[in-house]
Amino acid sequence: MTTAADILRQKATAFNFVHPQYNALEAIRLLSSLNRSFLVVMEEGEYKGIFTEHALVQKMATPGWQAAEKTVADVMDTKLPAASIDSSRHEMMQLMIAHHTRYLPVFDGHRFAGIISMNNLIKAMLYPSFSLEEFFASPRGDFDAAMQG
């Protein structure tokens, strides 16, 4: 059974963190420069939420809403369902489908462990035993090495 811990081990070390008071326009630029679809919002080492392209587009559809005048806290999702480090791939998929979300924060007790995306779950189903070490040793070009979703 593939767990959240297994999937997180396959991912590269996360580097896409941002503070809640970071400017939303700068966060958009950061998303673009990192080629990511989300930023993890952390404050003093504590998980606060997730800043996503999807949430940003929803906010920008509001008349008069200007990203340059807003912070990440004005955009971030704070009410996502969460998974445990021991949650199975099936349980995480059920949570994402039930809550219509593409991202799932994972916790080891009260400690934030990482984010698993729908993309990560699909890759885990397609390549259940494919590790990063195997990727770098193989000529495969169709597998996202970082599994960053």
Per run of 10 residues, the mean pLDDT along the chain (length 149 residues) is 89 84 93 91 95 90 90 94 95 95 95 93 76 52 45
Give the chain's domain count: 1
Residue 103 lies inside a defined structural domain of this protein:
yes
CATH number at residue 10: 3.10.580.10
Residue 146 lies inside a defined structural domain of this protein:
no
Q: What pLDDT, on a 0 to 100 scale, did the predictor assign at position 139?
A: 54
Q: How many CB atoms lie within 10 A of CB 134?
A: 12
Residue 149 lies inside a defined structural domain of this protein:
no
Q: Which domain holds residue 23?
A: 4-137
103-108 and 83-84 beta bridge pairing: parallel
pTM metric for this prediction: 0.80
Q: What pLDDT, on a 0 to 100 scale, did the predictor assign at position 127?
A: 72
Residue 23 lies inside a defined structural domain of this protein:
yes
Q: What pLDDT, on a 0 to 100 scale, did the predictor assign at position 133?
A: 52
Alpha-carbon torsion 108, 126, 11, 53, what sign? negative
